[in-house]
Structure 1
Amino acid sequence: MTLEVTEALLDSVLQQIAANPGTTAICNLAGERQLNLLAVRELRRRGLISGVFMDDSTEPGDHHGRFLLDAARLKQV
């Protein structure tokens, strides 16, 4: 099963982060955890959010870098 990050997912995650700046963590986001991790990774790559990010050292990642294991204190930039 391939997980796909859509613009709709990115918008949804960004809205959730904007609603609770600095207190949002992956566990607080509605939806599937793995998809949310991919969305947060992409939002971070685009420079749209900041926070504390923990890379997943058990996965090799892809051409965008390492995958995320967790993220907290997320806020919109």
Structure 2
Amino acid sequence: GGTGKRPAIADRVIVNPQAYATLGSFGQRIVLTHETTHVATRTSTSTATPVWLSEGFADWTAYRGEDRAADTIAPELAEAVRSGRTPA
């Protein structure tokens, strides 16, 4: 999110072409959807928005339409939940 004090004139997503090229089509789709979610929600967030909420919502949006089990998307989180630990 932005500072919440003044609206941004424009938003942009900058992609590192070398890193992006290492992703398959699934990974590229997830990254673009995740980053586009940040752009789409920017006017409703600020620096007061917790990072876990902003990043979690962007991840949820990116993965929600995918036919993947949660434990394959976030194996460390799934293991923490199974073990009764609080995720870091």
TM-score (norm 1): 0.28
Give the number of the structure with larger relative contact order, counting CA–CA contacts within 8 Å between residues 6 or more apart. Answer: 1
Q: Which is richer in strand?
A: 1
TM-score (norm 2): 0.25
